[in-house]
Amino acid sequence: MILYPAIDLKDGQAVRLLKGDMDSATVFNENPAAQARAFVDAGCEWLHLVDLNGAFEGEPVNAAPVEQILAACDVPAQLGGGIRDMATIERWLDKGLARVILGTVAVENPALVREAARAFPGQVAVGIDARGGLVATKGWAEETDVNATDLARSFEDAGVAAIIYTDINRDGAMQGPNVEATAALARAVEIPVIASGGVSSLDDLIALRDCGADLDGAISGRALYDGALDLRAALKALAG
């Protein structure tokens, strides 16, 4: 199971939110590229990047720090937030991103997800962010009546590389991931699933790894910044 350190970008800085609330941002590093380099130096195999401003505004906002991260690091990175048309997808992949994450458009324009997955095999993931099992979009600001599992199943034949499933109520709360819901989603589809939201300790990672659903990966942010989760120790434990 791959551990993805998260770098959430707001106004050019690396921050963490509490349950997706932009007003509750904590700045952890004013130099996101340096933060990314520290994660890579600790041994991570992937980076998970989120353009928070972009998610709300519907277009890339933190392009400069993302490009600086890509220039500073030699591991693959995936990015979500504000990626809602083919031109933006193509532009980011041309800049060296390994994978784009499509969230809002997965609900509003699923045909785009299918088109992108066909055009860029292995480089398009779907981000499914849910509260109480229902998907939220546009930086989690808008609720929908779309069931998370139903949405995941609708892309079963689309060729997407992965589904990143976030339980919004756990995100940044340091209360542990929703293992049960994540495992249930992973069992419902053949698409690889990456867990996100609430991963705050080594025990959380082990619980996800051993949940019986063969998760592809897990994302952690605040716990790595706070020191509750030691990246080197976590990577060693998952490797063993």
Active site residues: 8, 129
CB neighbour list of residue 103: distance below 8 Å, 6 or more residues apart: 55, 80, 81, 126, 127, 128, 129, 137
User: Which residues, in sequence order, are CB contacts of 143 under 8 Å at separation 6+?
Assistant: 131, 134, 136
Count the alpha carbons within 13 Å of 184 in the hemisphere toward its beta carbon.
10
CA distance 136 to 119: 26
Query: Which amino acid, one-letter code, is at 87?
Result: A
Q: Which amino acid is at 169?
A: N
Q: Coil, strand, or helix at residue 118?
A: helix
C-alpha closest to that of 164 among 108, 227, 87, 103: 103
Q: Which residues contact 85 (CB under 8 A, 6 or more apart)?
A: 112
Distance in angstroms (rounded) separating the CA atoms of residues 120 and 117: 5
